[in-house]
Every structure is written in structure tokens, then in C-alpha cells.
């Protein structure tokens, strides 16, 4: 069976009322993955997120994204955002982080 490790990115995009923080896992196979977006180390409730569907990529791998709308007021609270993924190809979880102050870290 073919096994391909996911790549993980935490993206931020300006929206009208603040930011959209997006956790993106891509390039993985097989299709099952656990992807979690965290705020200050705690999982963000699924009802606050958009996305979450596993989608096929043109190269035969899969991708998934989960996004959170963050208001300007919430940005002022300087939360720490991170994303973690568990997949069959990984010995341990894959993590990527971003602070609302703009610092990005990968582990």
C-alpha cells in the first residue's frame, strides 16, 4: 500500500472583519487524517470552523482544510493558533503554529 506523509500549513488571510486562520494538510495518502485547529492549546469547536472535508488532489493524494474567522477584537487578545495532524504515515503528530502577533513556528 502506498503511504505519503502530509504537508501542513497554517495560513492567515485578511477578511472584512479580521482574519481567517486556515489549517491546510495536503499531499497525503491514504485519505484518512485527523486535523485539529487549536487556539491557546485547546481544540476549536467544530461548529466554529468551516471546511473539514477530505478532497482529492490531481496527483492522486488528498487534502483537507479547516478555517476559523477571527475578529479584530479577538486578534487584540493575542491568541496562539496551532494546527496538528495525525496520519498513518507519521510516527508522531505533525504541528505548525502561529501567534496573532505574526510569529510562525513549525515543529
pTM of the full structure? 0.86
Residue 103, pLDDT > 90, answer no
Residue 17, domain extent: 7-99
pLDDT band at 22 (very low <50, low <70, confident <90, very high): very high
Q: For residue 19, is it within any domain?
A: yes
Q: For residue 15, is it within any domain?
A: yes
Q: For residue 1, is it within any domain?
A: no
Residue 104, pLDDT > 60, answer no
The mean-pLDDT minimum among 6-10, 66-70, 80-84, 100-104 falls in 100-104
Residue 44, Cβ neighbours under 10 Å: how many?
A: 17
DSSP 61: -
Q: Which tens digits make up the pLDDT trace of 37-48?
A: 999 999 999 999
Give the CATH number, domain containing residue 36. 2.60.40.10
Long-range contacts, stretch 11-18, CB < 8 angstroms, 24+ apart: 12/98, 15/69, 17/69, 17/71, 17/72, 18/69, 18/70, 18/71, 18/72, 18/73, 18/74, 18/75
Number of domains in the chain: 1
Q: For residue 42, is it within any domain?
A: yes
DSSP 46: G
Q: For residue 59, is it within any domain?
A: yes
Q: For residue 93, is it within any domain?
A: yes
Amino acid at each position: 500500500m502506498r503511504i505519503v506523509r502530509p504537508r501542513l500549513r497554517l495560513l492567515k488571510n485578511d477578511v472584512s472583519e479580521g482574519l481567517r486562520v486556515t489549517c491546510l494538510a495536503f499531499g497525503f495518502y491514504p485519505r484518512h487524517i485527523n486535523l485539529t485547529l487549536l487556539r491557546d492549546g485547546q481544540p476549536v469547536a467544530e461548529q466554529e470552523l468551516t471546511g473539514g472535508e477530505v478532497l482529492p488532489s490531481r496527483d492522486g493524494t488528498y487534502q483537507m482544510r479547516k478555517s476559523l474567522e477571527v475578529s479584530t477584537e479577538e486578534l487584540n487578545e493575542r491568541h496562539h493558533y496551532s494546527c496538528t495532524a495525525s496520519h498513518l504515515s507519521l510516527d508522531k503528530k505533525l504541528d505548525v503554529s502561529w501567534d496573532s502577533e505574526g510569529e510562525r513556528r513549525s515543529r
